[in-house]
Amino acid sequence: MPHNTFTHALARVPTLNMGDGLTTQDLGEPDVALAIEQHAAYCEALRACGLNVTVLPGDAAYPDACFVEDTAVIYGDLVVITQPGAPSRQGETEAIQQVFGNRTVMRLTGDEYLEGGDVLVCADRVLIGLSGRTNRAGAERLRGWLQEYQNGLRVDFVSVSGVLHLKTGLTELAPGVLLKSPDFVTDYAFDFAEAHTLSDSEKYAANVLPINGSLLVHAGYSSVLKLAERYCSSVLPIQMSEFEKMDGSLTCLTLRYSV
């Protein structure tokens, strides 16, 4: 399976009431006009990485719907529609399932809860965070489908506390190189990779998005930028201040896949 190589991305425009969404931050109300500008610039950056980006309309019934990553997990041709652990977000999946209607779509049901922000596809394994939004039943079901899809795929569970999702606190900057927020607490051992724990002032930058040989990083974090430039010749800093106010980061604004 080619790693971090995609042809398409799916996004959903922020709604005027995005400030009514869930957040643990105390950074004030998002400026929606600025959020829409930042969202458009993010989508443009993905187009510059060669992706065909579809932007769905928002839905005011779901102020968190722009964080589409949480509604599905796409691995090769396998599409899994999740059941977000946040009750206010569960209805977001309908619009996403319709987009993927003609592909093999699996769906979490019953007591299986999982949000895509808890799934990190690394070069040699998939990590599933057990967080406040993803439970063991959801993680086990997803692991079963992933391993049915790719025989021998290593899928590990990672306990997550101190951050919202696994990828809020941990992403892979390059194969074998992890960025970790100092807030992220786990008993999982990251001895398979070189893990860089960021300073408190750069913790938001732990979420980076590698795509087709380029790397999107949060703008304004100099040590992460320096590290990124050491591993990647095409680093794209993106302004995300209005999404940060709602606990969102780079990965959460799209689903990436290939057709």
Residues catalogued as catalytic: 165, 252
Shorter beta-carbon distance to ligand CIR: residue 126 or 164: 164
Kindly state the number of chain residues that form the binding site for ligand CIR, as judged by CB under 6 A: 19
Q: How many CA atoms lie within 13 A of 233 on its CB side?
A: 0
218 binds ligand CIR (CB under 6 A): no
Shorter beta-carbon distance to ligand CIR: residue 83 or 249: 249
Least spacing, CB of residue 128 vs ligand CIR, in Å: 13
Site string for ligand CIR, 93-122 (x = CB under 6 A): ------------------------x-----
Shorter beta-carbon distance to ligand CIR: residue 58 or 117: 117
Least spacing, CB of residue 215 vs ligand CIR, in Å: 17
Name the segment binding ligand CIR (CB under 6 A); options: 28-36, 179-187, 223-231, 246-254.
246-254
Of the candidate residues 58, 138, 169, 248, the single one contacting ligand CIR (CB under 6 A): 248
Of the candidate residues 15, 23, 71, 171, the single one contacting ligand CIR (CB under 6 A): 23
76 Rama sector, left if φ>0, alpha if ψ -120 to 50, beta otherwise: left
Per the document, the length of the chain is: 259
Of residues 38 through 77, those in contact with ligand CIR by CB under 6 A are 64, 67, 69-70
Identify the helix (H) or strand (E) that includes residue 224.
helix 222-231
CA–CA separation, 36 and 214 (whole Å): 23
DSSP state of 85: S
168 binds ligand CIR (CB under 6 A): yes
249 binds ligand CIR (CB under 6 A): yes
Going from the C-alpha of 54 to that of each of 16, 96, 136, 167, 214, the distances in angstroms are 20, 12, 32, 23, 20
DSSP state of 49: T
Shorter beta-carbon distance to ligand CIR: residue 112 or 115: 115
138 binds ligand CIR (CB under 6 A): no
Shorter beta-carbon distance to ligand CIR: residue 34 or 194: 34
CA–CA separation, 22 and 94 (whole Å): 19
Name the 3-class secondary structure at 211.
Answer: strand
Name the 3-class secondary structure at 203.
Answer: helix
Least spacing, CB of residue 152 vs ligand CIR, in Å: 27
Strand partners, 177: 174, 194
Give residue 170's Cα distance to chain centre. 10
Shorter beta-carbon distance to ligand CIR: residue 139 or 233: 139
- Report yes or no: 70 and 115 within 8 Å, Cβ to Cβ: yes
Instruction: Name every residue whose Cβ is closer than 8 Å to that of residue 37 and which is 6 or more positions away in sequence.
Output: none
Binding site for ligand CIR (CB under 6 A): 21-23, 64, 67, 69-70, 86, 89, 117, 164-165, 168, 246-249, 251-252
